[in-house]
Structure 1
Amino acid sequence: MVGQVLDGRYRVDARIAVGGMATVYRAVDTRLDRVLALKVMHPALAADGTFVERFIREAKSVARLAHPNVVQVFDQGTDGSYVYLAMEYVAGCTLRDVLRDRGALQPRAALDILEPVLAALGAAHRAGFVHRDMKPENVLIGDDGRVKVADFGLVRSVDTVTSTTGTVLGTVSYLAPEQIEQPGAADPRVDVYACGVVLYEMLTGEKPHDGDSPAVVLYKHLHEDVPPPSAVVPGMAYELDELVASATARTPAIRPYDAVALLAQAREARAALSVDQLDAVPPQALSSDHEQRDIGADLTSVIPRSLTVPRPLPVNEEEEAEGAVFHRTSRLESPPPLPPRRRTERSRRRLVTIVAAVLLALGLGAGVWYINSGQFTQVPPLLAKTEAQARDRLEQSGLEVGKVEHAYSDTVKRGTVISSDPKQGTRIRDNDSVGLTISDGPETVRVPDVEGYRLDKARSLLKDGGLEPGMVSRAFSEDVRRGFVISTDPEKGTERRAGSAIALTVSKGSPIDVPDVTGETLEDAQADLEEAGLKVKVSSEEVNSSEFDQGQVALQTPQNGSTAAEGDTVTLTLSKGPEMVEVPDVVGAGVDDAKAALEGAGFQVDEDRGLLGLFGDTVKKQSVKGGKTAPKGSTITITIR
């Protein structure tokens, strides 16, 4: 298609990528003179009318999803057999390119990429969209460091394709278990799972599950948990392990309910990390002189500045300590030469030095003995386990259960562990106690009775009850006054999660039949409409009308016969009277020519032949003389002799 112009507007300059459903080209919008990306569906899919219809419908919906981290859709159209999307062109590379050339990323870099991705998905989830195919290939990183999510809309329109090919939508490495078991059932938590896998891959440089075939990978997603990143990257912060575990829980109910909730957890994890933990370079990171492979841009200009801070990650605490000691001793300088002292003073100082060395050795020995003789262990992973399972796990580790508290949680299943004190991985003495916080599930509240309240008061009552006012629709009601609540959805008394949105139906008042006031004077029309309980607005523009005289109502909106609510406004447009048109002079012309001239000027024509003109063909007279004006649409009589 390179060189072609679609719809007479989009000139295709180069092919960017080829996928399973479409080919992406770099193109120029010749009308607006801007570079954009053109996604053209493969002909086999374009021949499927149902697929194309859904593709267009979803593209229109996604075009309304204005978010700085979503690749925007500018236009959609067809040109012959080509069905295309015109989208924002992002100059840069994909996250897959970054991982291929950089390996594992620093935690700060991974979070810098994850957070805008979650912000984009969160906006989509709250608007009713599920991406369903989140993977590094769909995360674009611009030359300016901006992160954008691609392939919204298209991924939600391929159900018809998957049903005919028998394949499961999405790349197998990022599929949530429920997508594998029920390919047609997907909610925002499948995107949450995929983001957890992407985060794991950014932190470790590898996918959590691998195998010789896609079937093996699918089996592992169904039956094995995603391992903590620290299992691959020693020294990785516990908060990042927890974030990955929360996002990739195999049970959907345990995961954050959408990307907004996961974004909140990611920001909490970032806040809990030190600068050294954020900027540590994992051993799996590739060296800076690693050969770049077909990215098309130097990655140092593509990745945000925070992705390139070089600070090595210690493999364990002992190595970290040794490194610190080496660093300090390497910077010590030799003391200046001492002045000569008497032999007795020199001997005394030597004795003091020997005593101090002996005491230091005894102290170090005692410390080593204390550490080695005491029994130490680490707090085991307890997140998402039931209280009974957590108690058993602590007992197996030689620890006791401390204070058990309960808290509401929107993301952790009721009866399972939200957190422990100390946290997982903390080194504590054997037989010490570990406190547990158990989830009581989402906090639920009852929908209050707001029927019969004004809309503003109803909204206030919902907020006071721990809920959020949702979408407002309006309906006629004989019983409820205009502006007051008729009902809620869900109904009053229904239990809902705290913070849920409650839809409100507000009364428009009793229905009123709009009277017909066309042809009336403005004063009479206003009186009739106001008597019916309606307001009147007069349009600033007037129209010509051959039916109504100047000053009479020529048009009304809404029209008569329509139904309106009390207090609604009816717009009136007044007549300027008929449009006056100059009458052509047709005396002496043939009948056919005369009729054509008069009708062309906008008049109707009536023939008067009488007895003498039955066989005549020449106009001897016309009812309005040529050169004068008459109302457009009026009738001109021609006399034929």
Structure 2
Amino acid sequence: MTTAPVDPMIGRLIDGRYQVRSRIARGGMATVYLATDLRLERRVALKIMHGHLADDNTFKTRFVQEARSAARLAHPNVVNVFDQGQDADMAYLVMEYLPGITLRDLLKDYKRLTAEQTVDIMDAVLSGLAAAHKAGIVHRDVKPENVLLADDGRIKLSDFGLARAASANTATGQALLGTIAYLSPELVTRGVADARSDIYAVGIMMYEMLTGEQPYVGEAPMQIAYQHANDSVPAPSSKNPAVPAEIDELVAWATSRDPDERPRDAREMLDRLREIEPGIRASHLPITTQATMVLPDVSAMTAGATADTQVLGGAALVATATHETSDVDDTAALSTSAARRRRRGYWLFALVLLLTGLAAGTGWYFGAGPGSFATVPNTSTLAPDVATAALQEAGFVVEPSSRTDPVVPQGQVADTDPPGGSQAQRGSTVTLYVSEGPEILEVPAVIGTPEDAAREALDAFTVAEAATQQFSAEVETGFVIAALDADGAALGATYPERGAITLVVSVGRVPPVEGLPVGDAEARLDAAGLEVEFAEPIFHNEVAKDSVVTADWLNDPMRPGDTVRLTVSKGPDLVAVPNVVGLNWQEAGTQLRDAGFDLDYNILADVAPGAFVVSKTTPAADETALRGSTVTVNFAGF
């Protein structure tokens, strides 16, 4: 019995920071591992280029391009790229780790999806793709394998390994690196790609999600490519009658063979998707029923009903008093009157004694007894049991209670009623308030408001006098970017009364200096309170010599005193076109690509590179041209 070999990368520490835990997936260009970022203590996805490709400049450039392309995007529906680097001979990419499955896995399990499920997923995919197109990036490899469905419900677009700037037409040979099933007709016939090529791939992907199969199949890639170039994608409803007509129209629009007849970018297609979405959901609502209760006839109910009736009767109680009068003789009357006078004398004497006792008792009660006044002890900030003992010793009855207090810590005495230092009768009740800590208040929305207005709205809190200044391209100068708590974190919806708050206020955008002469750029950044440092100058075909190519922020966010690193142009990078006339396409293509040129050539040459011989190049051999420009290659007999 043989066991599978253990991946030597498992357990390895990459670049002194990333501890490899397990393998997630393996592709044609790289292997993806689950790793732990020991510095930030978080799980990440570590993408490591295959060792046999490390010496290939074309693949290495594409690998680095993925990091740069994805790093330019900050969107909830795009997988974040955290880092990129080299450890010995290994090029690696550090990405956000999303536990879950791909759309391809979902389609394998369910074969096809409902219209509502397709709309939900495509809304997220198009949102992420719209952000890429807005940033000038064409993905070039949109397919179910690159749509991640996280366990927590997030949907993200990944793998920008083939992404290129949208303004640069892409050579046909390179386009074939994308999956053939999703290639647009212009990629097959002319080898150029723009945002509309991504839209075509999205339309093919929608067709597959709704029908469970791809529109074109064939035994060889060239057969599939031929169908993309010459056939129209059928309506999904032809395979799945449950697909609404609006979805059919959207797929037809996205997969038009003429790029000019498709949505110009993902944003335009997303807007149309959201227009038709309510109708799709409304037409697929489940039917609901209500139970109906039939009431019996009222007369029948009345006839069959019985009720106990209690009659409260009141009896008139008549008290009849009879008074009988009789004669009383004079002797008895005189005797009764004398007795009454004697009793009145006894009562007067007792009353005098009582009043005397009361006066003496009152004097004692209010002078030295329980009715006397005493000073209420000051018990603030004491422990409740200590404060209770002090009040009882002073002659008071203690009633415990609690209340919020912004100053006194929770669990200590906040105050008493009557307050400490005042006079109160001995034996009276003193309410002892124990602090519950500060009252938790709702935090007003101050982001995007002027600083003065924000301070006024936050008057229940303690706002630092000096605000933190920060550059922002979105928030106007003098307006609040963020409100931070005592730990420097963003305030939540609630915060303790009088809690410390620091406002972060915009000082406007970082001055744009790309394309300016280096002296002007340095002066402009200095005036904004920023430090300047310089990277190694580079060749650049569009930026004049001694002008700024890039201005990289060394901090994010940027604040006055932070540093901007300027990269200055050395001018155009001109190289000589290699002489490849007479060579077969396998040798000629390698030399031209190694020289740094993009290529425009007949796609059939990739099928049999040894059979195609170069007859001419434009520009011609030994002519100088910009590195990265396109060389057109013609073949003998074609």
Q: TM-score, normalised by structure 2?
A: 0.43
Q: Could you say which structure has the larger radius of gyration?
A: 2
